[in-house]
Amino acid sequence: MTILEEVHDYWNRQSCGTGVTDAPKHSRAYFEEIEQYRYAVEPEIFAFAQFTRHSGQKMLEVGVGAGTDFLQWCRAGTQAHGVDLTEEAIANVQHRLEIFSQRAVELKVANAEKLPYPDNNFDLVYSWGVIHHSPDTEKCFAEIARVVRKDGTVKLMLYHRHSLVAFYLWVRYGLLRGRLWRSLSDVVYHHMESIGTKSYTRSEVHDMARRHGLAVRNIDVTASPTYDLLGQYPWPLRAGAYVLASLAGFSRCGWYMRIEMTKGCG
């Protein structure tokens, strides 16, 4: 089995973020509970995506998953196109749009390493937590740069290697197992969601953007209250996380690297 097949099978079993509800699959309550949970634990998505600001634009979301953000793109009045590697995700999102009376221009199964769109086709390409799961992340990055139009915007969330979350994984799978030599990349690769997950530093992202003609406008790695600061754990762990974050710098040690780029200028 190739890594891409393993990634497909992992996410096709259950779409990301759908395990938080017991409501019947594809019911209104099912989707509402998924949405409520997502934006409670990841409120930073709104400030980053700025859904309504892109109203009217031709938008592609790469890796729609269960479609919580995709629904917001539709509600915001973008010309929404969405792709995902898995049939499960696409079926989920089709049901979701129907229940909430929303329409997308197009929604289909596709591999981000080979996007089925012409060059310079979208005003905005958005992807939250997706391409670091694909075996050839740089190919996905190149494809995103290819399909966004000149002066168009790319908003991408990639996992940040120099983060508290990566450090916690290292403590759990390196330190506590007596395997101190394991690197942060290695523990993320083997123990974060599907096999082969990658994590990046800010300078790696700058280099990758330069190679593909994108200018980085902003990279935000502020600590996530839920994940880096262990918001759902007992207070002694939360207190420890606060101490670590204050030593590392709250704005420097977050797991979510929110990257905003523009094509062909800067």
Ligand X SMILES: C[S@@+](CC[C@H](N)C(=O)[O-])C[C@H]1O[C@@H](n2cnc3c(N)ncnc32)[C@H](O)[C@@H]1O
Is residue 17 close enough to count as binding ligand X by CB under 6 A?
Answer: yes
Coil, strand or helix: which one is 250?
coil
Report the residue from 130, 145, 219, 241 that binds ligand X according to the rule CB under 6 A. Answer: 130
Pairing of strands 256-263, 214-220: antiparallel
Burial class of residue 103 in the structure, from the number of CB atoms within 10 Å of its CB (0-12 exposed, 13-18 middle, 19+ buried) = exposed
- Length in residues, the chain: 266
Is residue 65 close enough to count as binding ligand X by CB under 6 A?
Answer: yes
**Smallest gap, in angstroms, from Cβ of residue 11 to ligand X?**
3
Span near ligand X by CB under 6 A; candidates 22-30, 78-86, 161-169, 226-234:
78-86
Span near ligand X by CB under 6 A; candidates 8-16, 166-174, 221-229, 247-255:
8-16
Is residue 165 close enough to count as binding ligand X by CB under 6 A?
Answer: no
Closer by beta carbon to ligand X, 65 or else 174: 65
Report the residue from 18, 78, 111, 224 that binds ligand X according to the rule CB under 6 A. Answer: 111
Tokens 């190149």 map to which residue? 142
Report the residue from 30, 31, 73, 128 that binds ligand X according to the rule CB under 6 A. Answer: 128
Report the residue from 35, 113, 143, 228 that binds ligand X according to the rule CB under 6 A. Answer: 113
Beta bridge partners of 220: 258
**Smallest gap, in angstroms, from Cβ of residue 12 to ligand X?**
7
Burial class of residue 30 in the structure, from the number of CB atoms within 10 Å of its CB (0-12 exposed, 13-18 middle, 19+ buried) = buried
178-195 burial string, b = 16+ CB within 10 Å, else e?
eeeebebeebbbeebeee
Q: Which residues would be at the binding site for ligand X (CB under 6 A)? A: 7, 11, 15-17, 63, 65-66, 83-86, 89, 111-113, 128-130, 133-134
